[in-house]
């Protein structure tokens, strides 16, 4: 089914739909700029896995650059193409990047995304902490392609597949500074707040998941800034 562009007057129907494996041509808008999934004569082959942030459609909120806000939208983030998809009346719609300002999923804790610039390129990233230090989480998925393998005269076709959801963390240490990719570990935290290392070390020993759970990570950065 061909993706349609979203118009500002769209009304949304809330109906979470479990993501099923689609044909390649069903995943993208062939008239949009992201046509990297169509390659050679394999456009009708099935791809295992999912290009999305979640394997199911999630409820969320999106804000357009026009200022309009839509709530309780059934949507999913296409990590591979860096696009937001919404579901309306059983039709999957790609939201034009030029119209979208921000979006958020209504998970157990709010999962907010905004467009940030890295190396001159804009990318969607999850907001983790917005204080004196700003922390973002970027998600990626790889598309693993396999050529046809000949085995004893018989053709054996391995399926193309999307990889596991991967992430990287980015930090901005002061307003106007460039985002820098970091490893989110104890050494990074200590380097950001060298004068408070002992207090932070004690805090982290009591909060074992503060570098794994995003809510606790935000609390960790708030604690560190409170020590200054």
In the structure, what pLDDT confidence band is assigned to residue 15 with cuts at 50, 70 and 90?
Answer: very low
State the chain's mean pLDDT as an integer.
79
The end-to-end CA distance of the chain, in Å, is 55
pLDDT of amino acid 114: 95
**Are 47 and 36 a contacting pair, CB within 8 Å?**
no
Query: Residues 82, 161, 59, 5: what is their CA dihedral angle, to the nearest 10 degrees?
Result: 50
Average pLDDT over every residue of 127-138: 96
**Burial of 63 per CB tally in 10 Å (0-12, 13-18, 19+):** middle
Structure confidence by residue, pLDDT tens digits, 196-225: 999 999 999 999 999 999 999 999 999 999
- Domain residue ranges in the chain: 4-182, 183-228
With 80 as the cut, is the pLDDT of residue 53 above it?
Answer: yes
Dist. CA 75–CA 174, nearest whole Å: 33
In the structure, what pLDDT confidence band is assigned to residue 140 with cuts at 50, 70 and 90?
Answer: very high
For residue 147, give the nearest of 136, 135, 159, 129 by alpha carbon: 159
Token look-up 């193409």 returns: 81
The percent of residues above 70 in pLDDT, for the chain, comes to 75
With 80 as the cut, is the pLDDT of residue 43 above it?
Answer: no
**Are 186 and 204 a contacting pair, CB within 8 Å?**
yes
Under DSSP, the state recorded for 31 is T
Average pLDDT over every residue of 132-156: 73
Dist. CA 11–CA 102, nearest whole Å: 18
With 70 as the cut, is the pLDDT of residue 28 above it?
Answer: no
CA atoms within 13 A on the CB side of 67: 0
pLDDT of amino acid 154: 53
pLDDT of amino acid 29: 41
**Are 53 and 79 a contacting pair, CB within 8 Å?**
yes
Q: Which two tokens stand for residue 57?
A: 């459609």
In the structure, what pLDDT confidence band is assigned to residue 162 with cuts at 50, 70 and 90?
Answer: confident
Dist. CA 25–CA 43, nearest whole Å: 6
pLDDT of amino acid 175: 83
The percent of residues above 90 in pLDDT, for the chain, comes to 55
Residue 134 bridge partners (DSSP): 130, 172
CA atoms within 13 A on the CB side of 140: 8
Q: Which two tokens stand for residue 202?
A: 């004690």
In the structure, what pLDDT confidence band is assigned to residue 147 with cuts at 50, 70 and 90?
Answer: low
């Amino acid at each position: 089914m061909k993706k349609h562009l979203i118009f500002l007057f769209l009304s949304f129907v809330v109906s979470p739909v479990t993501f099923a494996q689609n044909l390649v041509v069903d995943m993208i808008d062939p008239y949009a700029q992201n046509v990297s999934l169509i390659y050679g004569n394999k456009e009708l082959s099935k791809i295992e896995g999912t290009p999305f942030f979640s394997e199911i459609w999630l409820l969320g909120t999106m804000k357009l650059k026009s200022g309009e806000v839509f709530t309780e939208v059934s949507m999913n983030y296409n990590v591979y193409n860096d696009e937001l998809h919404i579901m309306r009346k059983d039709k999957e719609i790609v939201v034009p990047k030029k119209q979208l300002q921000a979006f958020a999923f209504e998970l157990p804790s709010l999962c907010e995304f905004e467009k940030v610039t890295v190396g001159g390129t804009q990318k969607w990233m999850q907001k983790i902490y917005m204080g004196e230090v700003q922390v973002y989480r970027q998600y990626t998925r790889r598309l693993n392609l396999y050529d046809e393998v000949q085995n004893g005269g018989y053709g054996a076709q391995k399926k193309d597949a999307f990889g596991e959801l991967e992430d990287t963390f980015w930090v901005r240490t002061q307003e106007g500074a460039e985002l820098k990719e970091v490893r989110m570990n104890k050494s990074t935290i200590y380097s950001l707040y060298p004068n408070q290392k002992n207090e932070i070390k004690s805090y982290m020993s009591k909060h074992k998941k503060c570098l794994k759970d995003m809510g606790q990570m935000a609390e960790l950065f708030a604690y560190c800034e409170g020590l200054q």
